[in-house]
Amino acid sequence: MYTEAMRQSIKILEGTRAFRKTQELGLMSPDEKAQLLRDHHPDYKGEQQRELRVGPSRGDRAPHEIADLIEARSLVDPEDFDLSRIDHDVDVLVVGGGGAGGAAALLARESGASVLLATKLRFGDANTMMAQGGIQAADKSHDSPSIHYLDVIGGGGFHNDPALVRALVIDAPKVIGWLEEMGVMFDKEPDGTMVTIHGGGTSRKRMHSARDYSGGDIMKVIRDEVLNQDIEVIEFSPVVELLTDGKGRCTGAILYNMETQEYSIVRAKATVIATGGAGRLHVQGFPTTNHYGATADGLVLAYRAGCELAFMDTIQYHPTGAAYPEQIVGQLVTEKVRGLGAQLVNGEGNRFVYELETRDAESAAIIRECTERNLGVVTPSGMRGVWLDSPLIEEIHGSGTIQRLLPAMYRQYERFEIDMTADPILVYPTQHYQNGGIVIDDQGASQIEGLYVAGEVAGGVHGRNRLMGNSLLDIVVFGRRAGAAAALRAKETVPGELGLDHVRRYHEELEKNGVETTRRAPMLLPDYRPDELKSHLITIGS
Amino acid sequence: MEDENVTIYIMGKRYEVPTSLTIMKAMEHAGYRLVRGCGCRGGFCGACGTVYRTKDDYKLKVGLACQTVVEDGMHLTQIPFYPANKAEYDIEELDANIAAVLKQYPEVARCVSCNTCTKICPQDIQVMDYVQAALRGDIAKAADISFDCLMCGLCASRCPAEIVQYYVGVLCRRLYARDIAPRAQHLADRVAEVESGKFDEEIAALMGAGEKDLRKRYNERDIEPK
């Protein structure tokens, strides 16, 4: 339900709709875009980042919120920790219960490995489940993996790892086929042709979808299939530390049962980290689209074990997070809304950016509109945003389109008495994706023997900016590759010694480099209790 | 929209919380550090099914804690987990028909059409209709109606016939997509092309290109019209 002031602003927007409907707005020039990013993208605020003082990527820059977790001690004390009882002895341990973890578990099992999948929340409580817009693949005749390649690498600012981009685009048709075969309900024409649309930064319409629960349907199908297979799944049990042998190889991990607080030891011939992103760190205080468990756990653990990180100074802010109503601030308004023709409009009723620029540029343009130009719309809580003129979708594609193609979005707003088919919605950028992450090769292998990495926690695939629809693709492509590679390694390896030398060394390095801290990581879960309450807690027991 | 407080009762215990909060944020405001019953926080994952009663109303209501705003006098509890049997099957051995559904979930035949599942669904899905469609062997309809299901489990918690509706739904969707929806021929063609190595040379050339060359190609690439 909109306030009177917001209603007035909507009137202004409605007044310009007929003109805007036929208004042509082009892509900005490369120079304009570079300038816009420098001036208004949050990644370019130098004081919001710092150089890492320890570890393999020492000297690289990262946001303070991530650096704080990297420059932290382990949750376990390597000098006093009993590793003698092996509770789970498996070929492959998969850490993380999202799409990448699920895909890795399936491929590892298919390759004959015994598999344990451990996850911090429920299996499927992951960003995959929330991905609405779609998944890219160049499977139409006027498109090709090479055109997809160029879109990916251009979108990433030409910084992407070419071998990873190749893997992404060349596997894309195959993984869509794999999902289709498993029973994902892709949107199709009556003859079976995939319905595909544009996304920001695509030069061909190659965004496949399953209504606007694209990730949800993929996740539910993968989860269903994992549960059909002989794969052990342990929920509410995050990994709190990796285990290594004397030669720095990863040989297993320590699981922590969040409900009983008991730990257990997993010995694994290969371990796949698929723990997702970092939205719940709320970099620079931004709200986030991410699920409750997105706290960079795997990133911290792999780094401590000796893996380099790439592009940790870039975070993707999704241009269109909800800015109103208050209850859903930060939640995703899928890019598909713009893909279908909804325009971004400022408080004066004017468009200010072409709607299908890459996400970094869209976000910077919205921030500029709300700060420097002061043309945003103010909400009752004082937040600023710009309008996303969703009723245009109904005008362009016919009435009923939003409920048919964007049921999740429609429902989200309807719950708060906003009818997005009749009224625009207010948006502002929200922390969405970790562009960088752990360095991997095209088989998903990290720099540590025995450790594989897939999905958002890895870095290099997307360079400095990921395109819409390439994350669902990434998790399936690299989940599968990492799972298969881990199973292959398991066949060629005997179980290793279990130790915590890497933790001991890391603690020494912290001290040597003057990082005096009581911080411990990984964080596992954010804490949203009020400060006043937290100052009145009693902790019982040790 | 003043930030006045309302009184709510979490599992019977009284707390004062700001009016505008969702149930999930109200529980955190009250001091709960959630482990169960909190997932995506955006209405997509189904982790936070909650049952509640409002003041002076005998009716049992439900919602997702992340999407439902507190009301004064609300009594609530979360149902973050509900025991449910998931059948284990080899999807490739099943056909999209009533036999597949009844073999995996014979209890579907016990549906008494009471519609309790539909009334409780926080996604406003016509749950009973898709269960009945499955029971008639209309797998396509069951898949279509159940599509928005989050698998929160509230339907199963109230079903007098002890059906686990959401597992029936996911089975029907998979069967529909595999066996009834036409396959994408262009996709199969493209996979064959990729496997034949058709694009290897082009991509190798791009991988070997310098940044300047790539930039030029990127900036000059033609873009398919909307």
DSSP letters spanning chain B: ----EEEEEETTEEEEEETT-BHHHHHHHHT---SSS-SSSSSSS-TTEEEEE-TT----EEEETTT-B--TTEEEEE------PPPP--GGG--SSHHHHHHH-GGGGG-----HHHHH-TT---HHHHHHHHHTT-HHHHHHHHTT-----HHHHH-TT---HHHHHHHHHHHIIIIISPP-HHHHHHHHHHHTTTTHHHHHHHHHS-HHHHHHHHHH------
Chain A residues with CB-CB distance to B186 below 8 A: 139-141, 193-194
- If you measure CA to CA, which chain B residue comes closest to A257? B35
Helix (H, G, I), strand (E, B) or coil at A248: coil
Q: What is the pLDDT of residues B25-43, one digit of tens each?
A: 999 999 999 999 999 998 8
- pLDDT score at B3: 57
Spatial contact of B125 and B146, defined as CB atoms under 8 Å apart: yes
Query: Nearest 5°: CA angle at A489, between A483 and A495?
Result: 115
In B, residues 29-88, which contact A (CB 8 Å cutoff)? 29, 31-36, 38-45, 47, 67-69, 86, 88
- Write down the mean pLDDT value for chain A: 96
A-chain CB neighbours of B214 within 8 Å are 150, 153-154, 158
Residues B187-201 pLDDT 10s: 999 999 999 999 999
- Mean pLDDT calculated for residue range A228-242: 98
- Chain B positions in Cβ-Cβ contact with residue A165 (cut-off 8 Å): 207
The pLDDT, as a whole number, for residue A471 is 97
Could you tell me what percent of chain A has a pLDDT over 90? 92
Instruction: Give the Å distances, CA to CA, from A94 to A114, A458, A476.
Output: 11, 15, 14
**Contact yes or no for B194 and A174 at CB 8 A:** yes
Residues B147, A149: C-beta atoms closer than 8 Å: no
- Tally A–B CB contacts below 8 A: 229
In this prediction, residue B1 has a pLDDT band, given cuts at 50, 70 and 90, of very low
Q: Which residues of A touch B171 (CB under 8 A)?
A: 224
Mean pLDDT for the stretch of residues B91-97: 96
What domains appear along chain A, each with residue ranges and CATH number? 4-40+316-431 (3.90.700.10), 74-314+435-491 (3.50.50.60)
Question: How far apart are alpha carbons B130 and B140 in whole angstroms?
Answer: 10
Q: Please indicate if any CB of chain A lies within 8 Å of the CB of B209.
A: no
The answer to whether the beta carbons of residues B100 and B167 sit under 8 Å apart is no
Q: Is the pLDDT of residue A421 over 50?
A: yes
Angle at A460 between CA A166 and CA A179, to 5 degrees: 55
Q: Report chain B's mean pLDDT, rounded to a whole number.
A: 95
ipTM for the complex?
A: 0.97
Compute the CA torsion angle A167, A170, A176, A177 (nearest 10 deg): -120
Domains and CATH numbers, chain B: 5-76 (3.10.20.30), 91-180 (1.10.1060.10), 185-220 (no CATH)
Pick from A190, A192, A204: CB nearest B183? A192
3-state secondary structure B80-132: CCCCCCCCCCCHHHCCCCHHHHHHHCHHHHHCCCCCHHHHHCCCCCCHHHHHH
Q: How far is B112 from chain A (nearest CA, A)?
A: 27
Residue of A nearest to B36 (CA): A121
Residue found by looking up tokens 């890895």 in the block:
A458
* Mean pLDDT on B83-101: 95
pTM (2 decimals)?
0.95
CA A531: distance to chain centroid? 28
Residues in CB range of B195: below 8 A, 6 or more apart: none
Q: A125, A169, A207, A383: best mutation site toward chain B, by most B Cβ within 10 Å?
A: A125
- The end-to-end CA distance of chain A, in Å, is 49
- Residues of chain A contacting residue B44, judged by C-beta atoms under 8 Å apart: 129-130, 213, 216, 408
Instruction: State whether B170 and A289 contact (CB < 8 Å).
Output: no
pLDDT digits (tens, 9 = 90+) for A361-416: 999 999 999 999 999 999 988 899 999 999 999 999 999 999 998 888 898 899 88
CB contact under 8 A, A192 and B182: yes
Cβ atoms of A90 and A114 closer than 8 Å: yes
Across A135-143, average pLDDT: 98
d(CA B208, nearest CA chain A) in Å: 9
Phi/psi at A188 (nearest 5 deg)?
-135, 155
pLDDT at A541: 72
Q: Which residue of A has its CA nearest to B64?
A: A415
Q: What is the mean pLDDT of residues A451-475?
A: 97
Residue A542 binned pLDDT confidence (cut-offs 50, 70, 90): low
Please name the residue that has the structure tokens 């964007």: A406
A531: helix, strand or coil: helix
Q: Does B180 touch chain A (CB under 8 A)?
A: no
Contacts of A173 by beta carbon, 8 Å cutoff, 6+ apart: A137, A138, A139, A145, B187, B190, B191, B194
Picking from A230, A301, A276, A271, the residue whose alpha carbon sits closest to that of residue A487 is: A271
**Closest residue, chain B, to A328 (C-alpha):** B42
Helix (H) or strand (E) holding A121: none
Write out the catalytic residue numbers of A: 368
Chain B environment of A142 (Cβ under 8 Å): 224
Distances (CA, A) of B98 to A226, A290, B144, B178: 24, 39, 16, 15
DSSP letter (8 states) at residue A24: -
Record: contact B187-A528, CB cut-off 8 A: no
Tell me the average pLDDT across A324-339.
Answer: 90
User: How many CB atoms lie under 10 A from the CB of residue A378?
Assistant: 18
Say if residue A421 is exposed, middle or buried (CB neighbours under 10 Å; 0-12, 13-18, 19+): middle
**A331, closest residue in chain B (CA to CA):** B42
Peptide bond into A30 cis (omega under 30): no
Asked if the Cβ–Cβ distance from B191 to A125 is below 8 Å, we say no
Amino acid at A209: S
| Closest by CA position to A165, among listed A485, A459, A488 | A459
Query: Residue A408 has which token pair?
Result: 């999740």
Is the model's pLDDT at B213 over the cut of 70? Answer: yes
CB contact under 8 A, A194 and B25: no
Neighbours of B26 (CB within 10 A): 25
DSSP secondary structure letter of residue A353: S
- Cβ-in-10-Å burial (0-12, 13-18, 19+) of A318 comes to buried
